[in-house]
């Protein structure tokens, strides 16, 4: 996955990224305007069609932004031991105590923050560079004592580790942006600062009431509340994104590796696609090669079992966007080639969900295909559920989703190991098995006399009806005429 931005927004740039291996284009709705998003979506769709590639679009909503307000051009020098009074931007402080210096923060968050914090609460500025502790509160204002100071500039972020926040997950801006995303047909919507299942169900219910479009919902995990109680979120979300940036500020960088492994393992066990993000190839913003630590970070995410890895500024504003995608792709391929030896997934005892026909079919398909030496597994599927379920069991051979809906196929771009082929509508009277075999052979996934495995729902081919597995040996090459 790669984020589009100033360095990667022209048709030529987007085509180059896709050719380098980009499967999902992330649009960061913290920046830009609606006109630019419309253009980007059109550019991605046209580039993918021209290259005959399956490329999804992820709309990443900004969420509630905790920021300081506008400061003087030179910023404000925070000094350890001094006291500052945080107040809503745009008006004078109402309760400024003696000895405190005023410091404006975003007006829309001031009231809520002043009620959520308590005396002794930690307040961090600028991605945790500067720290303070709450000394007193007087809604909609509160005071802090600086512990670690420095030069603070306008609009820098605020973090409150250890303080549960009552701010809603989606702001008015997010709702307006979501409306545009639904209109443009984005394939997935990422929600920032998710804290509970209610954040997910609220957006899903809103989408059901206002649109016929059904993007998948991605929960971004970065707040402490979500990190230590992810089970409920996993029950309702379609995918998870491990947002390591704010997570490190909120919980401490030393905790991120263990949290990453824990969340990926939970997602793998449930078959929920999981994305690992933030600073994966950070040095490539200005360098043509990654550090050794970054290469190891990407590979270890693959070994952990992540479905996708994501680039942010590397592709959005960096000097080497295409090379960053090429580098990440090479690291992924190398790691996947050694996954049999190092993958954490092989230690999971994956079993089908009790009572689920599709789980049982796909669990069996993965085992049988490997046992008989099949070269590929073809899933004839309408919604993609069968292919996604099969990916949960990580078969060692390619999964090819055969679908008649390009929009459904794009949603599988977030899932490990799935390639796709779009075909005209299948009808029950078709010879499914020969049809699937012909598709695999035509797309180069199988050759004459190869063994393949095919799954489908017979005889109806209806949604959610996968109930059959068939081993199919491709016909031998015809003998030359005498």
Sheet containing 2-3: order of strands: 2-3, 24-28, 56-60, 188-191, 216-221, 239-243, 274-277, 308-309
Measured in residues, the chain has a length of: 482
- Report pLDDT for 460: 59
Only one residue has tokens 């049988």, namely 368
Q: b or e along 409-443 (b: 16 or more beta carbons within 10 Å of the residue's beta carbon)?
A: bbbbbbbbbbebbbeeebeeeeebbebbbebbbee
How confident is the model over 309-348, as pLDDT tens digits? 999 999 999 999 999 999 999 999 999 999 888 888 777 7
Domains of the chain: 2-63+169-337 (3.20.20.60), 76-159 (2.40.33.10), 357-473 (3.40.1380.20)
Decide if pLDDT at 426 tops 80.
Answer: no
- Percent of the chain at pLDDT > 90 equals 78
Decide if pLDDT at 79 tops 60.
Answer: yes
How does the average pLDDT of the chain come out, rounded? 93
How confident is the model over 107-154, as pLDDT tens digits? 989 999 999 999 999 999 998 999 999 999 999 999 999 999 999 999
- Give the list of residues 6+ apart from residue 164 with CB closer than 8 angstroms, or none: 116, 195, 225
- Report pLDDT for 479: 52
Summarize the confidence of residues 186-211 as an average pLDDT: 96
Only one residue has tokens 């809603």, namely 168
- Report pLDDT for 476: 81
Decide if pLDDT at 478 tops 60.
Answer: no
The neighbouring-strand residues paired with 123 are 132
The neighbouring-strand residues paired with 125 are 130, 158
Which residues carry out catalysis? 26, 67, 220, 278
- Give the list of residues 6+ apart from residue 479 with CB closer than 8 angstroms, or none: none
Determine which helix (DSSP H) or strand (DSSP E) holds 138, and give its type and residue range.
strand 130-138
| More confident position, 54 or 468 | 54
């Amino acid at each position: 996955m790669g984020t589009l931005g100033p360095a990667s927004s022209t048709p030529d740039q987007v085509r180059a990224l896709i050719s380098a291996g980009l499967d999902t284009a992330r649009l960061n709705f913290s920046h830009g305007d609606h006109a630019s998003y419309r253009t980007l979506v059109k550019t991605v769709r046209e580039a993918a069609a021209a290259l005959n590639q399956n490329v999804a679009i992820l709309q990443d909503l900004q969420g509630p932004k905790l920021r300081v307000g506008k400061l003087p051009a030179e910023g404000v020098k925070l000094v350890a031991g001094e006291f500052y009074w945080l107040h809503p931007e745009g008006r004078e402080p109402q309760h400024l105590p003696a000895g405190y210096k005023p410091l404006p923060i975003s007006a829309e968050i001031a009231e809520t923050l002043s009620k959520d914090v308590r005396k002794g609460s930690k307040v961090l500025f600028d991605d945790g560079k500067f720290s303070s502790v709450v000394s007193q509160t007087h809604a909609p204002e509160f005071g802090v004592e600086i512990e670690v100071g420095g030069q603070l500039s306008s609009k820098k972020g605020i973090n409150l580790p250890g303080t549960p926040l009552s701010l809603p997950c989606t702001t008015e801006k997010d709702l307006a942006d979501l409306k545009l995303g639904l209109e443009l047909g984005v394939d997935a919507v990422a929600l920032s600062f998710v804290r509970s299942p209610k954040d997910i169900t609220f957006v899903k219910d809103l989408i059901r009431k206002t649109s016929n479009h059904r993007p998948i919902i991605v929960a971004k995990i970065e707040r402490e509340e979500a990190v230590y109680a992810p089970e409920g979120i996993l029950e309702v979300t379609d995918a998870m994104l491990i947002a390591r940036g704010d997570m490190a500020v909120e919980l401490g960088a030393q905790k991120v590796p263990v949290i990453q492994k824990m969340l990926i393992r939970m997602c793998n066990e449930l078959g929920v696609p999981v994305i690992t993000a933030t600073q994966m190839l950070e040095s490539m913003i200005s360098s043509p090669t990654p550090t050794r630590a970054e290469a190891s970070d990407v590979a270890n995410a693959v070994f952990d079992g992540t479905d996708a890895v994501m680039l942010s500024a590397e592709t959005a504003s960096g000097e080497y966007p295409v090379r960053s995608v090429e580098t990440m792709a090479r690291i992924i391929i190398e790691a996947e080639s050694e996954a049999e030896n190092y993958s954490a997934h092989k230690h999971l005892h994956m079993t089908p969900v009790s009572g689920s026909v599709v789980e049982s079919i796909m669990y069996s398909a993965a085992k049988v295909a490997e046992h008989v030496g099949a070269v590929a597994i073809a899933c004839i599927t309408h919604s993609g559920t069968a292919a996604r379920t099969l990916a949960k069991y990580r078969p060692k051979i390619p999964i090819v989703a055969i679908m008649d809906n390009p929009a459904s196929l794009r949603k599988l771009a977030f899932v490990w190991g799935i390639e796709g082929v779009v075909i005209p509508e299948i009808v029950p009277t078709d010879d499914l098995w020969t049809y699937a075999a012909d598709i695999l052979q035509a797309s180069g996934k199988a050759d004459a006399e190869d063994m393949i495995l095919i799954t489908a729902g017979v005889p109806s081919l209806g949604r959610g009806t996968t109930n059959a597995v068939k081993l199919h040996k491709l016909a031998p090459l015809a003998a030359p005429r005498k």
